[in-house]
């Protein structure tokens, strides 16, 4: 329940603030950012933390001895999470758009679909990488989630654009935040859904998201193998009560 209510409240607050200040276009940006917030929360608190929670509950041993690839487990979790979260994000977007009467100008559905798919692929690739890193760590993983949550909300553009002409940040900050898959993903979706731009105008976004996907997923696979082997050698895969 809170996974849907909290993004909605943030959307209504931000969109109303922008509208009162005369920034009708930014109100639409806030609505889309609030919908995409559901994906980052899902990646952070479910996808990235999955092996950590399994370790805390004593079930990680079952994953380790299972005669299947651990990467296939992460891929399966990613697919299920994407389907479930997409439904929630769509409902948030439709409800906020209807209530706030945000103008939508979708001129190229193919561009929207391509940017959306690549955004989720890169984002959940990051989630798989984080899940691999969190495998061996205890409560530090939970604390890292707390640290990452709000800064990514701010820097990735969930509240307002952080790259491009609407960004208040200098070029170096824009470059650094571009390493977060959500940044180019949200900006590309805003351009295609709110501003009505087509495929040609978001080709840079597509190239960046594709590059992030190509880097993050193989890196997650290699890190998963390394962390699993390290955990086996050091005996850190099982929960030990002190």
Q: pLDDT averaged over consecutive 10-residue blocks of the chain (242 residues)?
A: 69 79 77 88 83 76 78 87 90 85 87 96 92 73 78 87 85 91 94 92 96 95 85 66 41
Angle between helices 70-100 and 24-42 (to 10 degrees): 150
Please tell me the distance from the alpha carbon of residue 68 to that of residue 60, in angstroms, as a whole number. 14
Residue 71 pLDDT: 84
Please tell me the distance from the alpha carbon of residue 25 to that of residue 10, in angstroms, as a whole number. 17
Contact 10, 141 (CB under 8 A): no
Residue 184 pLDDT: 94
Residue 4 pLDDT: 65
Please tell me the distance from the alpha carbon of residue 28 to that of residue 42, in angstroms, as a whole number. 23
**Position of tokens 């709110």?**
194
Residue 150 pLDDT: 84
Residue 241 pLDDT: 44
pTM of the predicted model, to two decimals? Answer: 0.88
């Amino acid at each position: 329940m809170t996974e849907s209510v909290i993004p909605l409240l943030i959307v209504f607050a931000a969109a109303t603030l922008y509208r009162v200040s005369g920034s009708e276009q930014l109100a639409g940006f806030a609505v889309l950012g609030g919908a995409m917030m559901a994906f980052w929360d899902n990646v952070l608190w479910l996808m990235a933390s999955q092996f950590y929670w399994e370790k805390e509950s004593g079930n990680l041993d079952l994953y380790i001895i299972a005669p299947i690839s651990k990467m296939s487990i992460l891929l399966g979790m990613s697919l299920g999470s994407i389907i479930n979260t997409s439904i929630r994000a769509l409902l948030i977007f439709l409800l906020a758009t209807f209530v706030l009467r945000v103008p939508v100008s979708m001129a190229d559905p193919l561009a929207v679909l391509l940017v959306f798919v690549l955004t989720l692929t890169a984002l959940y690739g990051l989630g798989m990488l984080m899940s691999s890193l969190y495998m061996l760590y205890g409560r530090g993983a939970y604390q890292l989630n707390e640290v990452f949550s709000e800064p990514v909300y701010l820097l990735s553009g969930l509240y307002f654009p952080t790259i491009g002409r609407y960004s208040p940040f200098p070029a170096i900050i824009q470059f650094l935040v571009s390493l977060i898959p959500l940044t180019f993903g949200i900006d590309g979706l805003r351009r295609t859904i709110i501003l009505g731009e087509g495929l040609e105008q978001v080709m840079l976004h597509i190239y960046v998201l594709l590059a992030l996907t190509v880097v993050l997923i193989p890196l997650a696979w290699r890190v998963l193998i390394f962390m699993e082997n390290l955990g086996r050698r050091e005996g850190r895969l099982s929960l030990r009560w002190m």
